[in-house]
Amino acid sequence: MRIIGGRYRRRVLHFPDSEGLRPTPDRVRETLFNWLGQELDGQHCLDLFAGSGALGFEAASRGAAKVVMIEQAPKVLAALHENAKMLQNPPEVEIMRRDALQYLASAKSKFDLIFLDPPFNKGWIPRLAPLLAGVANEDAAIYVEAEEQIEALGDWRAVRHGKAGEVHFQLMRREAV
């Protein structure tokens, strides 16, 4: 898997086979970053189920000021650290071994962009939804990959969506009040 834009463009990320790990394909990431704008200068990003790290490292490559990557699987976590090392340990990237729900419940930071790509068919999205407001800035965007199209997630509504194979992906923003 290659980083497709920014300062780490063309760098190859390596990751192990792991149950439920579905790296976001290049064309889906390209679509997402076209939706967001090519640069993420100064943004704080949360990659809640980091997996391959494709979304988080792509955000760092495109100028994010902070990228927090949360992963619980030891083999996958080790690969994230190896990929960070290959990129010369970008200071804006923080990789943590944590449970996603515990992280959201205890996080003190607020984020401008949250990537949610949890394992499919495990009921993650409804469990995460009530906790997102606690870590999201007022104008935060949420990117979700799921086994079905999602129109709403708490206060957020899908503003863009697409489908690649069996994966539905959507960019969500808070409703204007």
Q: What is the pLDDT of residues 22-44, one digit of tens each?
A: 567 778 889 999 999 878 999 99
Q: Positive or negative, the Cα torsion across 94, 48, 23, 168?
A: negative
**What is the tens place of the pLDDT at every residue in 81-96?**
999 999 999 999 999 9
Question: What are the backbone dihedrals phi and psi of residue 61, each rounded to the nearest 5 degrees, phi first?
Answer: -60, -30
The pLDDT of 75-82, averaged and rounded, is 94
pLDDT for residue 18: 57
Whether 175 shows a pLDDT value over 90: the answer reads no
Domains annotated for the chain, with CATH where assigned, are: 29-174 (3.40.50.150)
- Beta bridge partner(s), residue 171: 143, 160
Q: What pLDDT is attached to residue 20?
A: 56
Query: Would you state the pLDDT for residue 176?
Result: 67
Amino acid 23: pLDDT:
63
What is the helix (H) or strand (E) element at residue 60, kind and residue range?
helix 54-61
What is the predicted pLDDT for the residue at 19? 61
The identity of residue 95, as a single letter, is: I
The pLDDT score that the predictor gives to residue 39 is 82
Residue 17 has pLDDT above 70, yes or no: no
Contact, 132 vs 114, CB < 8 A?
A: yes
Alpha-carbon distance 5 to 134, whole Å?
30
Q: What is the pLDDT of residues 114-146, one digit of tens each?
A: 999 999 889 999 999 999 999 999 999 999 999
Position 107 confidence tier, pLDDT thresholds 50, 70, 90: very high
